[in-house]
């Protein structure tokens, strides 16, 4: 190996390590939840895309993101892994035990939308539906997601007004923006200061007197000067 080739190799490894150090995602392989592995893969894929890291550099920097059992596993298979996609496939095969469909549906229907933003809620349910071990028709996905939305959203977005999840996300986002504006307007009106002129008029008029609290003299104390005896 020439000196130039060695220099390029060292530079490439150093760059891979530097890029990997900037990624905060880590995976230890202890959890049996496949969602944890998918979250890790999503994180490193997004980081790789945003930083324009090549597949080769990503594969070299991967050991720095694996700890515990996952790091031990990688030491045993790294010599046979030749590409980034193969590495992800090996990871899923080892740690990504797929969940049965009924458990995924249980997670989907366990909670309806409450205080969470509608567009975020739709994306989460759609992500769960994508993990099913079989293909779900788009019309069925739409019905499931729509039925879990808050009643205020469903009241303002008729079911027959949308024909896809992307369109539903757009419409629910607009509805929530309108609801937020109305809520802000009502709050501002309730918190408006008292008109000083009206407050001054009330102070000039003086406090009102409750007739029931007035002190009445007994009838025997009432008298007229015309009937006084000399």
User: What tens digit of pLDDT does each residue of 144-192 get?
Assistant: 999 999 999 999 999 999 999 999 999 999 999 998 888 777 776 776 5
Q: Where are the domains of the chain?
A: 3-95, 101-188
Placement of tokens 């408006």 in the chain? 192
pLDDT of residue 51: 84
Where helices occur in 96-190 by DSSP H, the ranges are 101-109, 118-130, 138-147, 151-156, 165-190
d(Cα 147, Cα 154) in Å, to the nearest integer?
Answer: 8
Q: Which of 116, 137, 141 is nearest to 127 (CA)?
A: 141
Q: Which residues of the chain have pLDDT under 50?
A: 6-7, 9-10, 12-18, 214, 220-222, 224, 227
d(Cα 142, Cα 157) in Å, to the nearest integer?
Answer: 13
pLDDT of residue 196: 53
Residues 6+ apart with CB under 8 A from 177: none
Residue 162 neighbours by CB distance under 10 Å: 18
pLDDT of residue 165: 93
Placement of tokens 């739409």 in the chain? 142
d(Cα 65, Cα 62) in Å, to the nearest integer?
Answer: 5
Question: What 3-state class would DSSP assign to 125?
Answer: helix
pLDDT of residue 31: 82
Burial class (CB in 10 A: 0-12, 13-18, 19+), 131: middle
Lookup: tokens for 78: 């790294």
């Amino acid at each position: 190996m020439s000196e130039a080739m060695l220099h390029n190799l060292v530079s490439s490894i150093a760059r891979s390590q530097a890029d990997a150090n900037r990624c905060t995602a880590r995976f230890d392989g202890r959890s049996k939840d496949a969602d944890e592995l998918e979250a890790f893969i999503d994180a490193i894929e997004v980081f790789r895309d945003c930083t324009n890291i090549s597949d080769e550099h990503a594969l070299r920097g991967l050991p720095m993101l694996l700890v515990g059992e996952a790091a031990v596993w990688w030491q045993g298979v790294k010599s046979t892994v030749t590409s980034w996609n193969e590495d992800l496939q090996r990871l899923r095969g080892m740690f990504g035990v797929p969940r049965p469909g009924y458990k995924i549906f249980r997670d989907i229907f366990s909670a309806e939308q409450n205080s969470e933003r509608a567009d975020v809620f739709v994306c989460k349910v759609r992500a769960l539906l994508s993990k099913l071990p079989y293909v779900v028709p788009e019309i069925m996905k739409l019905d499931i997601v729509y039925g879990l939305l808050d009643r205020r959203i469903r009241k303002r977005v008729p079911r027959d007004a949308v024909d896809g999840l992307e369109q539903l996300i757009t419409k629910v986002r607009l509805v929530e923006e309108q609801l937020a504006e109305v809520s802000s307007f009502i709050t501002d009106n309730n918190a408006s200061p008292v008109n000083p002129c009206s407050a001054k008029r009330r102070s000039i008029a003086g406090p009102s007197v409750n007739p029931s609290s007035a002190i009445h003299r007994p009838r025997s104390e009432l008298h007229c000067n015309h009937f006084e005896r000399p």
